[in-house]
Amino acid sequence: MSKDKDLLASISDTSDESEFFSPMPKGYRKGKARYCFVMGTVMSGLGKGIFSSCLAKLMQDKGLKVAPIKLEGYLNVDSGTLNPFRHGEVFVLDDGMECDMDLGTYERMLNQDLSKANFATSGQIFSSVLYKERHGDYLGRDVQMIPHVTGEVTLKLRQLAMESDADIVFVEIGGTVGDLENAYYIEAMRELAYEEGPNSCCFVALTYILEPKTLGEQKSKAAQLGIKQLMQCGIQPDIIACRASRPATEKVRQKISVYSNVPFGRVISLPDSASIYMIPAMLREVGLDFEVARLLKIEDRIKLRKERKAWAKWCDFTDKIGSADRQITIGITGKYTSVRDSYASIINALEHAGIALGCDVKIKWIDTSNLTDKNAAESLKDVDGIIVPGGFGTRGAEGKIACIKYARENNLPYLGLCLGFQMAVIEFARNVCGMKQANSTEIEPDGPEPVIDILPEQKKIEGLGGNMRLGGKDIELKAETMAWKLFGKADSVRMRFRHRYEVDPRYIERLEEAGLVFSGKAPNQPIMQILELPSHPYFFGTQAHPCLTSRPLKPQPMFVGLVAAAMR
């Protein structure tokens, strides 16, 4: 928080004589960075993050420096405690920030690692304001939503613009315009546009065109009312993107144009797409990238030669989508299988690997809650490989172990992620090492053979609530192993973690003597991070979440290995 205090170099005037309050980071120059705000109307889940990241990618291709940020209305300080059923997967950044799954979309589309500076919640904003109030930073003024809380939001955006040296900061506001918790965010955007001056900001409204089956035609009234709500907040949208199952008709776009004062050419249709990686081409086709450049008056910063090269490379990738001549099925065994967003990064990592290998990867969702050794074979009979993903808690754990046993005994390609790594250790300990009561202390706190446990050094800080290993960590690879070969014979590799439990060091020697190879470990620590079975066609587990660092043009090696083994 003291960093914020240092950055509050200039506050226009906080005396009783003036109502102006505009916190600025030290050295900030108005006009250097531009801002593009993306907001949703009608309903959430329209793909604001996908739209914003695709538009940012087009601007990045032009040689512009872009910095995305997601503003969330909830009071949680981060996304770490959110249930995947309610909010999709928790995406972990390299610096350990637990955030919204949209940050994963930004990282994949822009091929860049983000940090906590790219994510904010109301919990963070209010905590910062209250800290400053207690430390006298507001010079005796009564602290209010306007201008102090909104000022904290604009300060965060300006700090990001400065730290990233961005030409354009892309700001996505979660939820919809009508949400009460978003009202101060929208007001902050209005204030920022007012303070930065003409051509500094571009407002994009993402809306939805309804098409009730009983009517058989598209209806724009809900979209019109949502845009009206935005205009009542003092914001005139510059661009309106119409989401729909089919292309929005010209008549519907005309109605919205007239109703919103937005030129017809800037009311664009965005129908459903087979792959999110095709959306940049959709936006480029209607000239939205150049429209944004014109609105922000930054045409002179565009590098056309760079754009041609970047776009050719991207098209080489997208041309392969849908053209595969092979098909495989990967089973994902977990307990959140009813909500696909719970495993968004895994789905994307499989897609990246499939496209790279010219293979269409189908997914079979397998709920492990009721799986046993007796019925596992029936559930897995039509899959070419399985993934046991990460998770917390006891439900479905024995079903996962049954799946792993089947994969190990029947040479079915296997990849275990985080909890899937731990379950593989338990299965091996029970069925190969003869430790019939092997388990994790997460599942059986007082079990006699805790092969998975919280390490002693982590137990020391449990009372502080900080015993989760979070963020990017280096993994030391053992030479001549499959993992070493997968990662290009490198000495080490970096992956992201989110877990509390580890292989108990007391059992490592016994597991290795029975044939389990720990091919990756934490440098200078007895923390096992990658396991493999040399006798198996493809049996891997990692304590990390490798799916978090998979990119469209650079698929994650462990997923490429799984898909390749499944194809064989």
Question: How far apart are the C-alpha atoms of 26 and 332, rounded to whole Å?
Answer: 49
How many other CB atoms sit within 10 Å of the CB of residue 433?
A: 19
Annotated domain spans of the chain: 2-315, 326-567
- In this predicted structure, the answer to whether residue 3 has a pLDDT above a threshold of 90 is no
Question: How far apart are the C-alpha atoms of 33 and 397, rounded to whole Å?
Answer: 50
- In this predicted structure, the answer to whether residue 396 has a pLDDT above a threshold of 80 is no
Q: What is the pLDDT of residues 172-218, one digit of tens each?
A: 999 899 889 999 999 999 999 999 999 999 999 999 999 888 888 89
Q: Which residues of 398-431 are buried (b: 16+ CB within 10 A; e: fewer)?
A: bbbbbbbbbbbeeebbbbbbbbbbbbbbbbbbbb
Could you tell me whether strands 492-499 and 469-477 are parallel, antiparallel, or unpaired per DSSP bridges? antiparallel
Question: Do the first three CATH levels of 2-315 and 326-567 match, i.e. the same topology?
Answer: yes
List beta partners, residue 68: 170
Could you tell me whether strands 469-477 and 517-521 are parallel, antiparallel, or unpaired per DSSP bridges? antiparallel
pLDDT reported for residue 388: 94
Question: How far apart are the C-alpha atoms of 93 and 91, rounded to whole Å?
Answer: 7
For the segment 108-128, the average pLDDT, to the nearest whole number, is: 96
CA dist list (Å): 230 to 55, 361, 442: 21, 41, 47
pLDDT band at 322 (very low <50, low <70, confident <90, very high): confident
CA dist list (Å): 251 to 42, 218, 236, 264, 431: 19, 9, 22, 11, 66
pLDDT band at 324 (very low <50, low <70, confident <90, very high): confident
pLDDT reported for residue 432: 95
pLDDT reported for residue 474: 96
More confident residue, 38 or 469: 38
Question: Quick check: bond before 450 cis, omega within 30?
Answer: no
The pLDDT > 90 percentage for the chain reads 76
pLDDT band at 500 (very low <50, low <70, confident <90, very high): confident
CATH number of 2-315: 3.40.50.300
pLDDT reported for residue 16: 53
Overall fold of domain 326-567: Rossmann fold (3.40.50)
pLDDT reported for residue 336: 59
pLDDT reported for residue 13: 41
Letter for the amino acid at 493? V
- In this predicted structure, the answer to whether residue 5 has a pLDDT above a threshold of 90 is no
pLDDT reported for residue 17: 59
Q: What is the pLDDT of residues 410-425, one digit of tens each?
A: 999 999 999 999 999 9
Write down the residue that tokens 């250790």 correspond to.
425
The pLDDT > 70 percentage for the chain reads 93
pLDDT reported for residue 82: 82
Write down the residue that tokens 């996908």 correspond to.
50
For residue 387, what is the enclosing H or E element? Answer: strand 385-388
Letter for the amino acid at 241? A
